[in-house]
C-alpha cells in the first residue's frame, strides 16, 4: 500500500511515465459494435462526447470479444447494480487505490464527484476503513474490499456487518464488483495506459 507522497509519485511514474505498450486501434478501424458499446457506456456515465474515453477502449478493441464482455459488465455495474451508486464508487476507489492504479483512480474520483463523494471522502478512502468519519456500514464496505484483495474472501465479522443493511443480491455482487475493477486496474497498469485528458491520476482528490 502506498503510504507516502514519494511512494505515490514513484508508483505513478512506473505506470504512466513510460509509453503505452499497445497502440490504440486507429479510429477508422473501430467497428460498429465497438462504437455502439462506447456510446452506451458514455450514456451510462452521462458523458456527452464518449470519444474522450477511446484511448483505453481503442486499445481494448484489439481484442473484440474481451472488449464486448468487459464493456457489458461495466455497463451493468453502472446501470443495473444492486449496490447504491455512492457505495459502489467507494468500493471501486478503494480497489483502485490498493491496486496502485492511477488511471482507474483518477477516472473514478471524477465519477464519484457526480455522486457527492467529496475530497474528504477520497482522502478517507486512501486512509482506509479505520479513518474517522465513515459510517459503520461504509467502514465495513472498505474492510470488505481490503479483505477481498488481501485474502480473497470477506471475513465473518465484515460479512455480518454488511448483511445488517444489505440484501443477498448486494452481498453476492460486491466480490464481483471488486474483482472486475481489480482486473481492469491490472490491465490498465500493465498497458501503461496514459491518463485521460480530464483526469490527473493520483493527484485527483
CATH number at residue 132: 1.20.1290.10
Residue located via cell numbers 471488486? 178
Question: Which band of pLDDT confidence, cut at 50, 70 and 90, is reported for residue 136?
Answer: very high
CA distance 32 to 79: 22
CA distance 57 to 109: 19
* Shared domain check, 185 and 91: yes
CA distance 2 to 147: 17
CA triplet 83, 72, 188: central angle to 5 degrees? 90
The answer on pLDDT for 51 being more than 60 is: no
The pLDDT value recorded for residue 47 is 63
Alpha-carbon distances of 122 from 111, 128, 205, rounded to whole Å? 12, 10, 6
How far apart are the two ends of the chain, measured CA to CA in Å?
17
Q: Which three cell numbers stand for residue 105?
A: 483512480
Domain count, the chain: 2
Average pLDDT over the chain, rounded to whole?
91
Helix (H) or strand (E) holding 203: none
- The count of other CB atoms within 10 Å of the CB of residue 177 is 22
* Shared domain check, 107 and 179: yes
The pLDDT value recorded for residue 52 is 46
Final residue belonging to a domain, choices 50, 79, 108? 79
Q: What is the pLDDT of residues 61-115, one digit of tens each?
A: 899 889 889 888 988 998 889 999 999 999 999 999 999 999 999 999 999 999 9
* Shared domain check, 67 and 28: yes
Q: Which three cell numbers stand for residue 101?
A: 492504479
Q: Which domain holds residue 11?
A: 5-79
Question: Which band of pLDDT confidence, cut at 50, 70 and 90, is reported for residue 2?
Answer: confident
Q: What is the pLDDT of residues 165-189, one digit of tens each?
A: 999 999 999 999 999 999 999 999 9
* Shared domain check, 163 and 89: yes
Instruction: Report, in this order, helix, strand and coil percent for the chain, each rounded to 5.
Output: 70, 0, 30
Comparing CA positions, the residue from 100, 96, 126, 99 lying closest to residue 111 is: 96
* Shared domain check, 145 and 184: yes
Final residue belonging to a domain, choices 45, 79, 113? 79
Burial of 76 (0-12, 13-18, 19+ CB in 10 A): middle
Maximum CA extent, the chain: 52
* Shared domain check, 75 and 106: no
Amino acid at each position: 500500500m502506498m503510504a507516502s507522497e514519494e511512494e505515490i509519485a514513484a508508483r505513478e511514474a512506473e505506470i504512466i511515465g513510460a509509453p503505452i505498450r499497445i497502440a490504440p486501434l486507429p479510429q477508422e478501424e473501430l467497428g460498429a459494435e465497438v462504437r455502439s458499446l462506447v456510446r452506451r457506456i458514455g450514456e451510462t456515465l452521462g458523458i456527452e462526447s464518449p470519444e474522450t474515453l477511446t484511448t483505453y477502449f481503442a486499445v481494448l478493441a484489439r481484442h473484440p470479444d474481451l472488449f464486448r464482455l468487459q464493456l457489458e459488465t461495466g455497463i451493468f455495474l453502472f446501470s443495473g447494480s444492486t449496490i447504491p451508486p455512492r457505495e459502489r464508487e467507494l468500493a471501486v476507489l478503494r480497489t483502485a487505490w490498493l491496486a496502485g492504479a492511477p488511471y482507474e483512480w483518477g477516472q473514478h474520483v471524477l465519477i464519484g464527484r457526480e455522486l457527492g463523494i467529496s475530497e474528504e471522502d477520497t482522502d478517507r478512502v486512501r486512509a482506509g476503513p479505520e479513518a474517522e468519519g465513515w459510517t459503520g456500514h461504509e467502514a465495513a464496505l472498505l474492510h470488505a474490499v481490503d479483505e477481498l484483495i488481501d485474502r480473497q474472501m470477506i471475513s465473518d465479522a465484515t460479512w455480518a456487518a454488511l448483511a445488517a443493511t444489505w440484501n443477498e443480491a448486494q452481498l453476492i455482487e460486491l466480490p464481483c464488483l471488486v474483482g472486475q475493477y481489480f482486473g481492469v486496474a491490472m490491465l490498465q497498469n500493465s498497458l501503461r495506459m496514459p491518463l485521460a485528458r480530464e483526469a490527473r491520476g493520483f493527484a485527483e482528490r
